[in-house]
Amino acid sequence: MLGPFLETLIGGLLTGVLYSLVALGFVLIFKASGVFNFAQGAMVLFAALTIARLSGEIDGKEVHLANFVVAAAILGVAVAFIGWYAWREYIARGAGPGERRKMQVLAAVGALVGGIAAYSYGKGAWPLWLAIAATAAIMGLLAYAIERLVLRHLVNQEGIILFMATLGIANFLDGFGQTLWGSDIYKINLGLPKDPLFLFEGVFPGGLLVDPGELVAAAIAAGLVVVLAIFFQKTRVGRALRAVADDHAAAQSVGIPLNTIWLIVWTVSGLVALAAGLIWGAKLGVQFSISLIALKALPVLILGGFTSVPGAIVGGLIIGAGEKLSEVFLAPILVKQFDLAGGGIENWFAYMLALVFLLFRPQGLFGERIIERV
Amino acid sequence: MLAVIVAAFLAVPMVASPYLYTEILIPFLILSLAAIGLNILVGYCGQVSLGTGGFMAVGAYAAYNLWLRVPELNNLIVVFLFGGLMAAAVGILFGIPSLRIKGFYLAVATLASQFFLDWLFARVKWLTNYTPSGSVAVGKLEVFGWHVDTPADRYLLILGIVVVGTLVAKNLVRGHIGRSWMAVRDMDIAAEIIGFRPLRTKLTAFAVSSFFIGVAGAMWAFLRLGAWEPLAFDINRSFQILFMVIIGGLGSLVGSFMGAAFIVLMPILLNQLPGWFGIRMSTALLSHLEFMVFGAMIVFFLIVEPHGLARLWAVAKEKLRLWPFPH
């Protein structure tokens, strides 16, 4: 009995890591801007689609020429934009004419690289690393567009309005990604090992069955968390982010540019979405249903607390394990007892679990204590 | 106001075609009622809920079970009321956490009800009369001996129910109970201190809201769909109604109607638009583009007027009153 139990537990924990990866994107944005970003799932889908289509085998039959043209144009714009932005930042800091020239050259090079990249994409698929780099650039562009076109106009609105706006963004991104890249099921080949692994064969009869792909994914997620933690705690930008999260007005008054910070946060959570999309895409294939994992990440979020990075991790582990254990051990009992038409309780079990936790700690496990004043 | 109602009862049946009834007027009216229900909860009481679809499903399946199992009560008014009452009961149950959980935590917690209810109607066989995958159908609908078969009949029945429901809602939100909701919305601790009991206030909001939503769900199932499965009330339905409330205007009944009209009409328009310009597109591409435009429109409207169409309407009325001499 212990063997299957541990096996399920490990499987659940590994899936949980992936949930926390999505939840992490939510937390980053909520912490820094108080926006409950429902578009995170759509961002995961968008990133996954982009990587898959940039790196995937191009099969003439299923790809429209128009897709290529648009994709190429977007890539070009993305890279050129990054060059331009870097240049503008330097101008803003009062760089001398020499540096200015340097940045102009950089922007030109960026545009050139973008153009060449777009052209070469028209010729054939890219290696994975290049696809990932290009997708990262596109996510940056996306963050900029969101900040510029949406958030900037909704400063000081109520949380629910901002939330609705992100729902709109989610709709837009879902449609945009699929218009651009098509809506078939695509594969991302990460080269993860596929053969199942057997652990502790001496302890349990037959050992414990573990999917090594999930192990690698969990390792990537863990690495990402460490990097983010260092970024938040040790770097200048990270400190600025925490300041903004604490108090918008105070941060602004000491000279932290709010818009830039938001841009950075959305970019970072875009990159987190990229990582999540990469792993989920490699695991399940890239398809529309990927954007629904945002719904899986929400209970993780309320369980761990909207404002806590460790909360997202621990919450993900609890939800992942709870979900799998309940499906394997609780669902058959329910089905037998109440004569149900099948189990499938994992869809709501996570929410119920989170709800029960919330009744005891309304701010989530690690959330900041909510202090209310009249 | 009266003129609009009279026109809706008398003038519309003279000109409307079946397509207009089934694709535009009936969905618009039913979803307006659902939007009013959600608006009571979100706009008047300040409790964000993402479980609307689930409560609609409760209304629909409760009504179905009464209709199926108690043939003597084959009167749609009774059936719908039962659906609403059951939804209200479930709403109270899922409203209990709101006493402890607030804001977005509550919003996500209400998703629990959505997923749980979806699952319930897909899996518990008795509730769906042992049909595969919970798809059920109804026929032979009547109200006090009046057979509601043609789209025009259905429209009139729905219109009647929606008008009554709106009047009830209007009086509720203007009275003592509505004021207590608004007090809790504006600052719940302050409301508690000046003597509104949060338990009663919040739970009545959940009950009334779910009642309306349940009736709307039952009407949607019986009069719009006729045959349905739990998927008709999934989370997208919840978001759709929430969009109506937000686009129409939080805390505004007329806004609920405007929001519903907007959300019902826009996909139809988007669908027709390329045809008018003679552009042919594959359906897949069209649906993706629809998503895009829909999302963009939502964002656009939120930026233009975060208080919704109702506010735009009020501003326009103010301006017209003074027009053409604004000073």
Domain spans, chain A:
2-57+125-360
Percent residues over pLDDT 70 in chain A: 74
Q: In whole angstroms, what is the distance from residue A230 CA to residue A363 CA? A: 25
CB pair distance less than 8 Å for A178 and B103: no
Whole-number average pLDDT of chain B: 87
Quick check: A142 and A37 in contact, CB under 8 A?
no
How does strand A208-210 pair with strand A197-199?
A: antiparallel
B65 HSE (CA, 13 A, CB side): 18
CB pair distance less than 8 Å for B302 and A165: yes
**In this predicted structure, what is the pLDDT of residue B218?**
94
Where is average pLDDT lowest: A249-258, A284-293, B105-114?
A284-293
- CATH top-level class of A2-57+125-360: mainly alpha
CB pair distance less than 8 Å for B288 and A298: no
**Chain A interface includes B303 (CB < 8 A):** yes
Residues facing residue A199 across a β-bridge: A208
Residue B48, pLDDT above cutoff 80: yes
Where is average pLDDT lowest: A52-61, A268-277, B225-234, B266-275?
A52-61
Tens of pLDDT, residues B235-247: 889 989 998 998 8
Average pLDDT value for residue range B173-178? 92
Number of folded domains that form chain B: 1
Give A-chain residues touching B122 at CB under 8 angstroms: 341, 344
Q: In whole angstroms, what is the distance from residue B143 CA to residue B148 CA? A: 7
Tens of pLDDT, residues B68-77: 888 877 788 8
Nearest-by-Cβ selection for B292 from A157, A175, A348:
A175
Query: Which runs of consecutive H residues, i.e. helices, occur in A285-371?
Result: 293-304, 309-325, 331-338, 346-360
What range does the domain containing B191 cover? 19-322
**In this predicted structure, what is the pLDDT of residue B158?**
92
Cis ω for the linkage preceding A299 (within 30 of 0): no
**In this predicted structure, what is the pLDDT of residue A60?**
46
**Is residue B12, in this structure, part of any structural domain at all?**
no
Where b means 16+ CB within 10 Å and e means fewer, A250-259 reads: ebeeeebebe
Cβ neighbours, 10 Å, residue B206: 26
**Is residue B1, in this structure, part of any structural domain at all?**
no
**In this predicted structure, what is the pLDDT of residue A62?**
47
Give B-chain residues touching A374 at CB under 8 angstroms: 187, 189-190, 193
More confident residue, B39 or A12: B39
B residues 71-130 closer than 8 Å to A (CB): 97, 100-105, 107-109, 111-112, 115-116, 118-119, 122-125
CB pair distance less than 8 Å for B116 and A157: no
**For the domain that residue B35 is a member of, what is the CATH number?**
1.10.3470
Nearest-by-Cβ selection for B112 from A163, A351, A363:
A351
Minimal Cα–Cα distance from A248 to chain B, Å?
Answer: 20
Where is average pLDDT lowest: A29-38, A182-191, B13-22, B23-32?
A182-191
B residues 176-235 closer than 8 Å to A (CB): 187, 189-190, 193, 235
Residue A95, pLDDT above cutoff 60: no
Cβ neighbours, 10 Å, residue A129: 9
The residue among B176, B249, B260, B267 whose CA lies nearest residue B212 is B260
Interface confidence: ipTM more than 0.85:
no
**Chain A interface includes B291 (CB < 8 A):** yes
Q: How far is CA A13 from the centre of its chain?
A: 18
Quick check: A298 and A312 in contact, CB under 8 A?
no
**Which of the residues B41, B291, B294 would you substitute to probe the A interface, choosing the one with the greatest number of A C-beta atoms within 10 Å?**
B291
CB pair distance less than 8 Å for A165 and B298: yes
Q: How many beta-carbon pairs below 8 A join chains A and B?
A: 155
**Dihedral of the alpha carbons of B280, B285, B289, B291, in degrees to the nearest 10:** 140
Give B-chain residues touching A306 at CB under 8 angstroms: 104-105
How does strand B227-228 pair with strand B146-147?
A: unpaired
Q: In whole angstroms, what is the distance from residue A19 CA to residue A21 CA? A: 5
Average pLDDT value for residue range A45-60? 75
Strand runs (DSSP E) across chain B, as ranges? Answer: 136-137, 142-143, 146-147, 227-228
Q: How confident is the model at residue B136 (pLDDT cuts 50, 70, 90)?
A: confident
**In this predicted structure, what is the pLDDT of residue B59?**
94
CB pair distance less than 8 Å for B119 and A370: no
**Which of the residues B45, B119, B131 would you substitute to probe the A interface, choosing the one with the greatest number of A C-beta atoms within 10 Å?**
B119
Q: In whole angstroms, what is the distance from residue B1 CA to residue A38 CA? A: 38
**Is residue B327, in this structure, part of any structural domain at all?**
no
Residue B91, pLDDT above cutoff 70: yes
More confident residue, A367 or A259: A259
Cβ neighbours, 10 Å, residue A101: 11
Q: 3-class DSSP state for residue B142?
A: strand
Model confidence pTM above 0.80: yes
Tens of pLDDT, residues A139-180: 888 888 888 888 888 877 777 788 888 988 998 998 888 877
A201 HSE (CA, 13 A, CB side): 3
**Dihedral of the alpha carbons of A288, A294, A295, A298, in degrees to the nearest 10:** 180
CB pair distance less than 8 Å for B102 and A362: yes
